[in-house]
Structure 1
């Protein structure tokens, strides 16, 4: 939980990559992907490491989407979404 907490704190300090507003990458709407992961991770943290089945399923879908989009991104955008993927893997692990 400590690692997810640290990554979450780092994530909150980073602005959303402006180029990715209203953009799809590999068929994934990037703003929604960010919002979905953020909602699940913040819920997991607020619930002491517990996530209901619906959110766990949603986060598993996000993991598959992140695995598709991260290789398509570069630099700061890739780092932003890689951090989301890292948190997702840890929460689901």
Structure 2
């Protein structure tokens, strides 16, 4: 477990929970999935990561990465708060999904 990553995800998650849901995200129709459902799935994975003190089981790790890829595809169509909301989720998924060796070797 990398404490710096856990700390950054904790801060981003608190920011995310404090932000209002962007109305723009209700209007994004995408063949990659419903943004509301993707948001719920990724939020569950991030919550599990934080409750596990920086550990995430392989199944949730895969779900997290699939959701982040889906959000990456949707991101170019978003503006303002919608884009910020999605970027924050993607950033947390990237942090959590990084192998610990690459995080520690880049520090």
Structure with greater strand share of residues: 1
Q: Could you report, residue by residue, the CA deviation over 1:8-55 in whole angstroms, capped at 9, with x for unpaired residues?
A: 000000111123237423532010111111100010000011111110
Partner residue, 2:59:
54
- Which has the larger Rg? 2
How many residues align? The count is 93
Distance across 1 between alignment mates of 2:47 and 2:32 = 25
1:25 alignment partner, SS class = coil
- In the alignment, structure 2 segments of 5+ residues that lack a partner are 1-5, 99-107
* Alpha-carbon RMSD: 1.4
Q: Quick check: 56-65 or 14-23, which moved more? A: 14-23
Question: What corresponds to 1:31 in structure 2?
Answer: 36
Q: Distance between the aligned counterparts of 2:86 and 2:79, measured in 1?
A: 10
TM-score by length of 2: 0.80
